[in-house]
Structure 1
Amino acid sequence: MIMSRIEAPRDGDTAPAESPLIEALLAGLPAGAVLTDPDVTASYAHDMASFCPAGAPAAVVLPRTVEQVQHVLRTATALRVPVVPQGARTGLSGGANASEGCVVLSLTKMDRILEISPVDRIAVVEPGVVNAVLSRAVEEHGLYYPPDPSSWETCTIGGNIGTASGGLCCVKYGVTAEYVLGLDVVLADGRLMSTGRRTAKGVAGYDLTRLFVGSEGSLGIVVRAVLGLRPKPPRQLVLAAEFATAADACDAVCSIMAGGHVPSLLEMMDRTTVKAVNDFARMGLPESTEALLLAAFDTPEPAADLAAVGALCEAAGATGVVVADDAAESELLLQARRMSLVALEAVKGTTMIDDVCVPRSKLGAMLEGVERIAAKYDLTIGLCAHAGDGNTHPTVCFDALDEDESRRARESFDEIMALGLELGGTITGEHGVGVLKKEWLARELGPVGLEMQRAVKDVFDPLGILNPGKLF
């Protein structure tokens, strides 16, 4: 018999507490691991993205073992029930939003660091391990796990893998995909598959590990990851440069990269973002600037690097260049950058956070375009960026209760993504596609690319039960 795919869930397709689904789940799970109270399950319905629909889960499952995850997937396959995997729900694209009547598979209880090997320079972890917890654990061994999203204190490694997340250090150390060496994955039918390796190199077969990184839970459920580590670098020192225009700051970024410098961090905050951070946390950042550029080096002797970059900033028009006195002052500047998105949300109560990455050479054109879009729609749009790799986060601030302002926010968001593609960029550098950018993924990939992506999905998930309605 040919098995049919899961259709898009419809309103009202929820399962009662005594349903065959709940009974089947409880047959292989402890009672406390299956949540069905609607007031409780509602809190698992969505991540942090705006304008992304979410359904009501039939149940939320909190497994602690691989075998329990396998039981959930076997049950879902048998009953043709969609499964939506979740981590800490810090995502910004609706990728973890529940489908109506689904099983939400929350992996936060699988939070063990299984191994740290200083010799092999790897860590083996479960998906619920929090990024900052791992970073601090490997630091005790003189090691470093570089990917550090702004939400690193709460986001999980499984979520980082699902969205191929980046962070402030990407300009030097790269993104999550470059540190995932191997995975254990539970497939849609409950089988357990291992990919990749724990060796320093290996090219046996297709690179299925990379395929799963960034797949947003649509191909399988990651239950274990082998992560590459680096030796712990020296504490970085940060330089802050003020600019009278964002264009001048972008020129400085281009000069720094063209000059062969390798900063450990190169971040930008526009005037709107700087003011929002000051209002939110009284950080004392200079609000007279139109753009604040933060550059850091974690070399053994960073003074020469910082001096050279400072000179390039001044040549590009910087009105002030200050080097942090020590690591503590440097960390304060980084905290200001990390809280940018939270601070912008406080401006109007709701934000739409774009994630457009463009070639570095087009960074200035991207910022100028965003400024025009903000004026066109009469909106506050703050912009912070991982400037060193061209990954911008234009953040539209709006009142969700104002229907007209909400409409303008959505239209401005779409124009920003269109601008990114026009400049040769991509619709997402690290936040993923989820629900928010499905239409734009199709535009970026084109019909042939989209057909091939769907074909891959069909191989791993022929019934379409894994995170349905996401990506495409």
Structure 2
Amino acid sequence: MSDLLERLRTELPAEALITDPDVTASYAHDMASFCEAGTPAVVVLPRTVEQVQHVMRTATALRVPVVPQGARTGLSGAANASDGCIVLSLVKMDRILEISPVDRIAVVEPGVINAVLSRAVNEHGLYYPPDPSSWETCTIGGNIGTASGGLCCVKYGVTAEYVLGLDVVLADGRLLTTGRRTAKGVAGYDLTRLFVGSEGSLGIVVKAVLALKPQPPQQLVLAAEFPSAAAACDAVCRIMERGHTPSLLELMDRTTVRAVNELASMGLPETTEALLLCAFDTPDPAADLAAVGALCTAAGATEVVPADNPAESELLLQARRMSLTALETVKSATMIDDVCVPRSRLGAMLEGTAAIAEEYGLTIGVCSHAGDGNTHPVVCFDHTDADESRRARESFDAIMALGLELGGTITGEHGVGVLKKEWLARELGETGIELQRGIKAAFDPLGLLNPGKLF
């Protein structure tokens, strides 16, 4: 410990090092339940690429593990500390280095908050689409590490589709530049995509070149009430089958709607079994909403209410964004799943989740990026009740098994981390895991970067 601190101090300012155990403990974990976290030896908050390189050279020399972190809003334990590690928090590297309206790119450091970037590019008439529910607090580096998505994925895609290039500090301290600033480019293997979603296990992202789009018109939102989740999912299939491209298509089940009302008195209809929100940011959103409203009615919607203006639309979106927070108030703890299935199997996923909730005697609310089949079943439980905690963990596993049975994946946007290591092995198979471990060894032969995550 003394040797580690002595070496770190040679090229780091005193304010960049945190050793107080009461403070370092607060950096030990992200927001996931049931994920082990160790005790870090030190927390480092660098401000420059050179400082990150010094940390990695020191870690390599002393064989000390390094756990990179952003805002710790993750939900899989990917940012959890391991015993004796260096926690490398990148939140101080928070500069927007460039915004180019001509090239339609932004160049940023990893600690930039998603919402800060979004507002900054809006001032140039541009748009950065990825918008996780935690967009007001999560960082771009964290978004890249977990390949996060958001409400807009159905039309605009996920983080991976907007990362053009990266500067990455490797485990031995070397600086690697991947990708490009150009609109297209196919030189060599796509290492940029390899780092996106790697959860800090291959290198430390210290700069990103991000693609931007022209800012679209303000969107209008429609809310449709359904007597069952199956009917709402039928409406989703009809909307997509007819070729509509909404800017978002989100679903909240009855449990989620009631939790949001309880938390914020939003006035959402508690008599509904499923509430579907559909938005368009097209030149004539009212016409598009009318067409979708007719499809919802045909699918069995009991009420279809289009918003009259952007203010009403934003209110509905606020309700959806606070869904996970609201479900966290139902019991003392939650496990938030992240299973993505083909859109055609979305109804089966929701019906199966309801059956699992009944089987295990638990409250499980579901909010979903319905347009791309990404569901977030939230298991609510009392963490002080050992039996209920056990049932919560078992129900979580049952939901992931259901997702795989339906041809889906164990994570659409939250990542694997510690929480889903066993399930990643089941999804990828023996050969897939062997190859992924080989890639890890090529970039990090000593196994120092975020050990114990993914596999």
Give the letter aligned to residue 388 of structure 1: G
In the alignment, does 2:333 pair up with 1:356? no
Q: Does 1:142 align with 2:125?
A: yes
Q: Report the 3-state secondary structure (helix = DSSP H, G, I; strand = E; otherwise coil) of the residue aligned with 1:347.
A: coil
- Once residues 286 and 422 of structure 1 are traced to their aligned partners in structure 2, the CA distance between those partners, rounded to angstroms, is 33
- After TM superposition, give the deviation of residue 22 of structure 1 in Å: 0.8
Aligned match for 1:221, one of 178, 182, 204: 204
The aligned counterpart of 2:318 is 335
Deviations 1:393-423 (A, max 9, x none): 0000001111110000000000000000000
The residue number in structure 2 matching 1:6 is none
Aligned to 1:309: 292
> What is the one-letter code of the residue matched to 1:310?
G
Q: CA deviation at 1:46?
A: 0.2
Quote the residue 1:284 is aligned against.
Answer: 267
For residues 390 and 338 of structure 2, what CA distance do their matches in structure 1 show? Answer: 19
Candidates 169, 190, 194, aligned match of 1:211:
194
Alignment of 1:56-455 (within 5 A): 56-455=39-438
Q: Distance in 1 between matches of 2:87 and 2:10?
A: 17
SS for the counterpart of 1:23 is: helix
TM-score normalised per structure 1: 0.96
CA distances 1:359-415 after superposition (whole Å, capped 9, x unpaired): 000000000100000000000000000000000000000011111100000000000
2:375 partner SS: strand
- Structure 1 segments (4+ residues) deviating >3 Å: none
User: Aligned residue for 1:8?
Assistant: none
1: CA distance between counterparts of 2:8 and 2:14?
A: 9
Q: Secondary structure at the match of 1:318?
A: coil
Q: Secondary structure at the match of 1:397?
A: strand
CA distance in 1 between counterparts of 2:357 and 2:72 reads 29
Using the TM superposition, give the Cα deviation of residue 279 of structure 1 relative to its aligned residue in structure 2, in angstroms. 0.3
Report the residue type matching 1:202 in the other structure: G
1:3 aligns to what?
none
Aligned-partner residue type, residue 79 of structure 2: A
Give the secondary structure class of the aligned counterpart of 2:330: helix
Q: SS at the partner of 2:98? A: strand
Pair 1:467-2:450 in alignment: yes
Identity of aligned residues (%): 84
1:245 Cα shift?
A: 0.4
Instruction: Specify which of 12, 32, 35 is matched with residue 49 of structure 1.
Output: 32
* 1:350, distance to aligned residue in structure 2 (A): 0.8
- Structure 2, gaps ≥5 residues long: none
Whole-Å Cα distance in 2 between the matches of residues 284 and 29 of structure 1? 52
- Per-residue CA shift, 1:30-57, capped at 9, x if unaligned? 0110100000000000000000000010
AA of the residue aligned to 1:59? V
Q: Deviations over 1:411-460 (max 9, x none)?
A: 00000000000000000000000000000000000000000000000000
Corresponding residue number in structure 1 for 2:14: 31
The 10-residue stretch of structure 1 (299-308 or 207-216) with the greater mean CA deviation from structure 2: 299-308
C-alpha displacement of 1:168: 0.1
* Structure 1 unmatched runs, 5+: 1-14
Name the counterpart of 1:10.
none
Query: What is the SS of the residue equivalent to 1:95?
Result: coil
Aligned to 1:7: none
Give the superposition deviation at 1:304.
Answer: 1.1
3-state secondary structure, aligned to 2:430: helix
The alpha-carbon deviation at position 303 of structure 1 amounts to 1.2
Q: Give the count of matched residue pairs.
A: 455
Aligned-pair CA distance for 1:300: 1.1
CA deviations on 1:280-327 (whole Å, 9 max, x unpaired) are: 011110000000000000001111110000000000000000001110
Deviations 1:132-173 (A, max 9, x none): 000000000000000000000000000000000000000000
| SS of 1:348 mapped into structure 2 | coil
Cα distance in 2 for partners of 1:281, 1:81 equals 45
CA drift at 1:221: 0.1
Structure 1 match to 2:23: 40
SS at the partner of 1:435?
coil
TM-score by length of 2: 1.00
Deviation at 1:255, TM superposition (A): 0.3
Greater Cα shift, 22-31 or 231-240:
22-31
Amino acid at match of 1:185: V
Distance 1:301 1:377 in 2: 46
Query: 1:349 deviation in Å?
Result: 1.8
State the distance in 1 between where 2:271 and 2:332 align.
24
**Equivalent AA in structure 1 for residue 88 of structure 2:** L
Indicate the RMSD between aligned Cα atoms, in angstroms: 0.4
